[in-house]
Chain A
């Protein structure tokens, strides 16, 4: 369905990532039922819903970990029917994980450099044989990784190992590793979990700052954060999309209030 909204809130009319009629079943359980949503350039889409509503499954579909039983995923208008996780970075999509997934036995700088890899143009064999061309590119990758750490204010942690850092800093390392690839869309899986109020304010500012360069899609329990940073909110309940719209619209939506906010106000992860 082409998006022909006349209002030009999004820098470009057509969505980057669009899901249509996505259905995922685990045995007899409907994890996602005909879910359709999209995110356009420079937009922040929040996906909320009670535990077990299908948020993580939705993310897994969007990044190729989970193949939908029905429905289509399109990226810039092209269908991604056989999306594999390692294709994602090349397309310009990055994802952070709830568990962070940092490489514990590699330094912070090495962790982030792996993420910068999409920009390495040196081939497999020239890399293996350590040809001068690839040596230059490796230096460039490291510089890029260092710049990503600097942007998040954690450049001083570059030579350290993740295990020696506080949780909030580890989260920033994981974020730097996703951002260093300069994706067009970044998927953030519960970015606020485990953060203090102050750290969360900083995160909100950071996410808004990203919109000049990329689109953001995030799954989050923390309602304050979602309401502050998102342009659009999609509400899932038992695998169905029950509401979709701006924070104000969603907050007033009777279905949302009944299914989610009504019962669980204040019950934050």
Chain B
């Protein structure tokens, strides 16, 4: 019996390795551990451990260029955010990744200045 005339999966096929296998059936990590904006980068001197799964290696590659947020990692890796959090949690525990809390919004923008600028603009172009 030949197999070449078998119909291919006509519609797009889902990923071969399912996310629950990637996390090995682990429960989701607590929401308080990471937020979408938690910043992640590779550790300076990664430990020599047993070989990592391809998905974990991919995460390390993604974070090699600098700080990436959890949301960005999930987008690039094509994995659900919750799954990425589990992987990042593991890699952080093992010492491969370094996690930094998100920069608080108050430090980024001063609301008062923005309001003044807005008022000024409205006064001028209003």
Tell me whether A and B are bound partners: no
